[in-house]
Amino acid sequence: MTDIGIALPKGVSPDSSPASSRVRHMLGRIEYEGYLAGVIVVMAIVLTFTVGSAFWGSTNLSGLLLDVAIDTVPAIGMTLVIVTGGIDVSIGSLVGVVAVVIGLSFEAHLPFVLVLLIGIVVGIGGGLVNGAIVAWGRVPPIIVTLGTLSVFEAITYQLLGGVWISTIPAELTQIVVLDRLGPVPYSFIVAVALVAVFSYIMARRPIGLKIYATGDNPEAARTAGLPIRRIQLFVYALLGGLTAIAALMTVGQSPLVMPTTGQDFELTVIAAAVVGGTNILGGEGKVIGGLLGALLVEMVEDAAILYHVNSFYQQIVLGAMIVAGVAIGVARRRARLGAKAER
């Protein structure tokens, strides 16, 4: 029998059917965020069939979305910091400092808007301290922010003096928690709006491209004349300001300021960023991923509460999500570099 040679399309094996090739092609075009959104949808379906109204009830849904908003706002800044090749593990302690300053300002009967501005300025100041030491001190970000974590904790305890602050005006709780569009708190809408703004900036504006270039190849970026130090200072200051907004939301959600306010908050925000697809090695990540990561993290925690899972295991799951997110990010980076090398 004569062998007839048939040229097959590139990437299609003799065994593969046109239908399976089309499926693989479609799957290859889906971004990581698409898969993450699919996981969230599947989880929502599982919760619908297992706990039903307990999950979709207005109170639970509003609380879940508020928690997502509190995580998402600083996750925007954390995404940018990690994209530049940095990290900030001090934001939980910074939340405590901002919360105490806000509480003391309310106790001093300062105008409401002024208190909000003071809190944001304090947050930006904390971020500037981290950014300045990283940029000009050339100290590794993890070391810098571990140090400032301890400093911010000490400041919180010193300012509180062992006393809780409970004189938080109902107006803040009204704005943060009670003002809603249906079951959706306005805080969540604000978080989504910020995600949209910074997604546009990172994708379309020169500063966004410079941030990506700084983390992808710092030496090449420096050779090209990019202001690396100013970019680092900017992203850390931005993270500080967004952390202050999260602190305002936290104080509004639970109108008490305690020494433990903000404790371990950095773990949740880092988890949101890395689970959302931000590569811990820098140079890769999307702001929208921070929102999706925060939604997945909070849905997991909410499911644990609805299923009456011990909080000890919740921390294990959170840690596992961070490790998994980092591993996926490293694997995706290797795959991307491997694909470049083959070209």
Average pLDDT per 10 consecutive residues for the chain, totaling 343 residues = 44 51 52 88 92 90 96 97 96 97 95 96 97 95 97 95 89 93 94 97 94 90 90 97 97 92 94 92 92 94 89 82 81 68 62
State residue 340's pLDDT score.
Answer: 61
State residue 224's pLDDT score.
Answer: 87
Longest CA span, the chain: 96
14 domain-assigned: no
19 domain-assigned: no
- Give dist(CA 220, CA 214) in Å, integer: 8
1 domain-assigned: no
Handedness of CA 322, 324, 329, 330 (dihedral sign): positive
- Give dist(CA 233, CA 96) in Å, integer: 22
Overall domain count for the chain: 1
- Give dist(CA 191, CA 288) in Å, integer: 11
Q: What's the whole-model pTM score?
A: 0.88
78 domain-assigned: yes
149 domain-assigned: yes
- Domain extent, residue 158, equals 55-342
CATH number of the domain that residue 333 is part of: 1.10.3470
236 domain-assigned: yes
Residue 285 near residue 82, CB atoms below 8 Å: yes
Which residues are 184's β-sheet partners?
181
134 domain-assigned: yes
153 domain-assigned: yes
Residue 66 near residue 253, CB atoms below 8 Å: yes
